[in-house]
Each structure stands twice: as structure tokens, then as C-alpha cells.
A and B are shown apart, each in its own frame.
Chain A
Amino acid sequence: MNYNSNKIQSAFTKYLLRNNVVLLGMLSLLIIGLFLSTNTFATAGAIRTILINMTQRGVLAIGVSLVILTGNIDLSVGSIIGVSSILSALIFSIPFFSFNPASTLFGIFIVLIIGGILGSINGLFAVSLGINSIIVTLATMAIFRGLAYTFLGGNILYITNPFYLKIGRTFIGDIVPATVLMLFILFLLLFVFVERTKFGRNFKVAGANEKVAFTFGIKVKNIKFIAFIISGVLAALSGIIMCSQIGAGAPEYGKEAHIDAIIIPVIGGFSLKGGKGNISGLFIALIIIEVFTIGFVLLGWSFFLRQISRGVILIMVLVFDVIREKKLIQVQ
């Protein structure tokens, strides 16, 4: 039986590689295309912008991909960003929290906890009560967004806490933001967690086949619930990073984040049905979306045109996901 599992393993690695080869190919084509069509792409400024945006989007994507892995979806992440943004701004307007790095950390911690609480509200309805997660997070998307506006109306609040601002604004060698390091670490953690730890591997199983997982003693409901909490916390973290970079918090931040939340994992190899996911693919997908985004900006497309293009990418990605599922079934 040993040689069978070896064969399965090498076939799996081949699939993994094959999957990523396609993505890497796409990425290279994109980069070459942009390189040729604009004269601003290969500049340090463009790369710097990509790296700046990458963290905030990447953190978000990691959280949502965990939820998708377990077979659910979290559309409310954008609204959680909004809540965490205005909340950060409010908290750090209190002198106590801007006193020193420790108190700043404490303030950040509070915001992250709130993100976790919002995530657990999603978990309560989608997992404990068993309601379809798309509708639940559609509803919480509205509820949380409204919540974000209750603090200060629609106003934007500036943040002056120097320690906080340092988070988003320290650079290594003037190009690479320090937050990118944090992103790398998070990705690494995610990889180790999902692929290597016993508990983490259960995420995939729980998402792939609930019933079977349950009979194997895996606490499916707990896992799904935890995924929502993590998504909430990471969405809050994403908001914190964003505000640190901008220097202000406003309730309308993250308005289109739910689109990214779906696109990046699916391009990265996560199936919307759950149970399938590829961390390295997620990373490459993140870069692809960043390149796309900056590409459109450099090509001079307006904000709304870019919105349309993201919608088109979403549809294409969804169609691709469906075709991929069908092809797999045929192969079997």
C-alpha cells in the first residue's frame, strides 16, 4: 500500500505545481503586458504601491480564504473594515492609547477583539443556527456598515498617534513597507497551520465533506465558527493597516472589499464549495490582483471603470471555478 500513497502524493504535488504554473504564467503575461504598454509600471513607485496595498488586501484574503475553505463565505469583511477604521480613529483619539507603544498595542488589541466579536456574530447565524452564510453575511454586511456610521455619522477622523502611524509607514530601503514582512509571516503561519497542523488540516476536511468529517470526530461546527472569528479579526487588522497608511479612519472604508474577498481565493485555487485550497496559489492570486489594480490605474481608467473591471474579473473567475469543478468530475 505504501507505493500507492507515494503515487498519490507525487500526483498531488504535480497538481499543485501545475495549478500554480498556470497562475505564474498568467502573472508573467500580465507583468510583461503592463511593462510594454505603460512606461510607469516598472518604476519603483509602482512596485512600492503594489507592496503597500498588498498587505491590507492580503490580510483580508487570508481570513476570508479560511472561511471559504470550510465551505462558507464572508461578505461582511468590507463592513468590518469600516467598523475597525472608525473605531481605531476613535480609540486613538483618546490620549491614554497614544501614550506609548504598549498602550497603542492595547488599543489595536481592542479593535481586533471587536473584529472577532463581529466575526462571531456571523458564526452565530451561519454556523450555530445553520443559516446560509451568503445571506447571513449579506445581512451583516448591511448591519455592520450601518454600525460603522453610528459612531460619528459619515465623518472622517484623523489619527495622530505616532506609534500607530509608524505601522503603515515604515519602509525598508524606501520601497518595501514593513507590513509586507508581517504579511509574509502571516502567510507562512497560515501555510503551516492549514497544511501541517492536525487542527488546521481539519479545516479542509470539514469543508470538503461535513458528514464524513463529523463521523471522524472532527468538530465541524467549531471549526466553521472559528473560521468566521479569524476572518473578522483579520478584516479588522486589514482596516487597521489601511488607516495607518492613510492616517485617518472613516466608516466607508472597505466598500468594495467583498469583491476582492471572493476573487482572490478563487483565483488562488480555493473552491467556493469548500474543502479545496492552495496557500501558495492564494499568494500568487493576491499579486495578480494587485498587478491588475495598479495596471488599470496606470492605464488611466477611472474609479468606476475599475469597479466594472473587477466585476468582470469576478464573473470570469466564477465561471472558471465552475468549469474547473466540471472538468474534475469528468476526469473521475
Chain B
Amino acid sequence: MYKIKVKIGEIFAKEWGKRLILLFFLILMIIFFSINADKFLSIKNWELLVVNLTPVGIIAVGMTFLLISGEIDLSVGANLGLSSVIVASLYNNGVNTWICIIAVLIVGLFIGIVNGLIVVKIGVNSFIGTIGTMSIISGVAYVITNGLAIPMFSDKIDALTFLGLGTFFNIKFPIVILIIFYLFSGIVLRYTLFGRRVYQTGANEFVSRVFGIKVKKIKYINYMFCGITASFSGLIVSSLTGVGMAQHGSFTFMLSIISSVLLGGIALGGGKGSILGTFIGVFIVKVIYNGMVLLNTPYYYVQITGGAILLIAIMIYGTKTGSIFER
């Protein structure tokens, strides 16, 4: 038993080892589903998959930055739900499309600031603190809608409808946004000074502070960034589904984002991870969900799988010093 542990530890110790295993697992999943579910390999399904992946993918980037700097935001799902509700309500009341969009982004920013205040400024544990804000935000969304969905009526093509349904040189717009966003974020995280600061903050807050790095500012920025990605994704979801509802930001949704990021190699303690890893992680989780949906698995099995993936992810990438096999 110990020998197996050491062997696994050796493979996992190298970053590329982990990445390779993940990639291998992703391919395995794809093969599995293509055998068992017809239509899985069709272009239409894959286009749908990537489009549906975009909201998770965008928030995952915000979450990546935040996690690497050592904090977490569990309120992103609720944030998305509230954003979809707000945009739907405003839009149906005839408010100018661009104002709708900007208003929602401001709400996302505001939520990020509040989370930052509670976690960074006051010092509450980021998990439980954001569980609290998650509860409040989702409550607000439900109070506004009373649990109902708000359909958005539109007969023209404007910024909002284009967001989810438009195409850019025959590629669905969300996919375009996804690719550009990932490229941009990946470059910032890896090559710029700010990206470095994020890693340093998460790797060792105390030493970083001694060396003059403004740890609190970095975390604040990441909370605001995370909040905005969540509300932006809310816009995309509203546009895609044509509906604004609090239920968009379900607990399972939030768990899938965390799992994606963890599977992508971002350690819970901070200091480790990459955008590329997140990309793979998001894909793995989405492939599994998509496959299960195609196989008509009941929702509760999806939920169980979601929790299980999270557990497995944390076992592989739990700490900044490596998997639990490396202790």
C-alpha cells in the first residue's frame, strides 16, 4: 500500500505528470462517452458543449486568479443568478441594452468588493464568508423573482442577444469570447508583474508582505475580477437561455467551477496553477456533464458525480505542496 502511494507520488510530483494524467483522463472520458452515447461526437454537440462551457470557463478564470492568490469565492453561482435576474428585469422594462450590461457588471464588481471587504479587510475565512454572501445574494435573487423565471422578450439583434447567440465568422460568439479571454488572462498570469504578484501572494503571504508586496490589494483586485466574471457570465447565460432566473446560479453549478479549477491544477492553498490547467479542467468537467446528460442520467446522479469529482480533485491537488500522496 505504501509502495503504491510512493509510486503515485513520484508520477504526480512533476507538474507535467499531473497534466499528462489529466489529459489522458480527458481522452478516456471522451472515448467512453462516444461509445456509449450517440451524438456525442457530432460537431453540433461539441459546439453546444463549448458554448455551454463558456459561462463556467469565464468564471473559472476569475476563480483561478483568486485561488492562486490564496482565497476562494463560493458566491459566484449566486452572483451569476442575480445578474441574470437583474438583466432580465431591466431589459424587459425597456432599459437600453448597454445600460443593462453595464449595470450588471457594476453589480458584479460591487459583490466582489463586498466579498473583498469581508475576507481581506476584516479577515473572515474566505470559504465560510463567501458561503454567507452566497446565501444573501441568492436570497436577493429569489426575492426579486419569487422563485419564478423572467423571460426576456426581444425582436431585434442587439448587444445582449448577440452576446449569446451571435456569430463571428461562423463561430458562435461565446466561443470567441472564451478563446480571447483565456488567451488574455493566460498571458497576464504568466508574463506580467501582476501575475507574478498573484502567485507570490498565494505562495507565502507573510514573506511577500515583508518584501513589500501589497498582498491585500492583490486579493481585493482578484475578488473584484472574480465578481465581474461571474456577472458577465450571467449576461451570457441570460442571452443563451433567454431567461433570467435565480436558479441559474445553482449550488451544483458553483461546485462544478471549483472542481474544474482544482482539476486543472490550482492548489487550494494558492501559489500553484495555470490558465492552461484550468482550461483542461473545465473541459473535463464539462465533458463529463455533457456525456451524462446525453446518457439521460437523472439529475441526482449528476449531483453525486459533481461532489465526487470535487473530492477526487482535491485529493490530487489539495495542497500547494502537492497531492495527498506526496505528504
Q: How far is the CA of A105 from the CA of B298 in the complex (A)?
A: 33
Contact A149 B303 (CB under 8 A): yes
Closest to B141 in A: A304
The secondary structure that dominates the B interface is helix
Min CB–CB distance B74 → chain A (angstroms):
8
The range of chain A's interface size is 35 or more
Cβ 8 A contact of B123, one of A138, A143, A147, A322: A322
A73 to B128 CA separation, bound complex (whole angstroms): 10
Q: Which size class do B's interface residues fall under?
A: 35 or more
Contact of A307 among B135, B304, B307, B310 (CB under 8 A): B135
* A138 to B304 alpha-carbon distance, docked (Å): 12
- Selecting from B16-24, B100-108, B311-319, the interface stretch reads B311-319
Q: B327 contacts the other chain (Cβ, under 8 Å)?
A: yes
A259 to B305, CA, bound (A): 24
Interchain CB contact under 8 A, B318 and A131: yes
Distance, CA A141 to CA B118, complexed state (A): 24
A135 touches B (CB below 8 Å): yes
B46 on interface, CB distance cutoff 8 Å: no
Residues of A within 8 A of B308 (CB): 139, 143
B251 near A132 (CB under 8 angstroms)? no
Given A139-B314, A146-B300, decide whether A302 and B255 contact each other with a Cβ distance below 8 A.
no
B271 to chain A, nearest CB (A): 15
Q: Closest residue to B318 on the A side, CB-wise?
A: A131
Residue of B nearest to A140 (CB): B307
Is A131 a contact of B139 with CB atoms below 8 Å? no
| Contact A322-B124, Cβ < 8 Å, known A139-B308, A311-B136 | yes
CB-based contact A136/B311 at 8 Å: yes
* Given contacts A131-B315, A302-B143, A307-B139, A142 and B306 within 8 Å (CB-CB): yes
A37 touches B (CB below 8 Å): no
Q: Is the CB of B298 within 8 A of A132?
A: no
**A304 and B139 in contact, given A138-B255, A145-B303, A311-B133 (Cβ under 8 angstroms):** yes
Min CB–CB distance A123 → chain B (angstroms): 14
Which are the 4 A-B pairs with shortest beta-carbon distances?
A: A311-B135, A142-B307, A146-B303, A149-B300
Given A146-B303, A304-B147, A318-B125, 17 more pairs with CB closer than 8 A = A132-B268, A135-B318, A138-B74, A139-B311, A142-B304, A142-B307, A146-B301, A146-B305, A147-B304, A149-B303, A256-B135, A259-B135, A307-B142, A315-B118, A319-B124, A322-B122, A322-B123
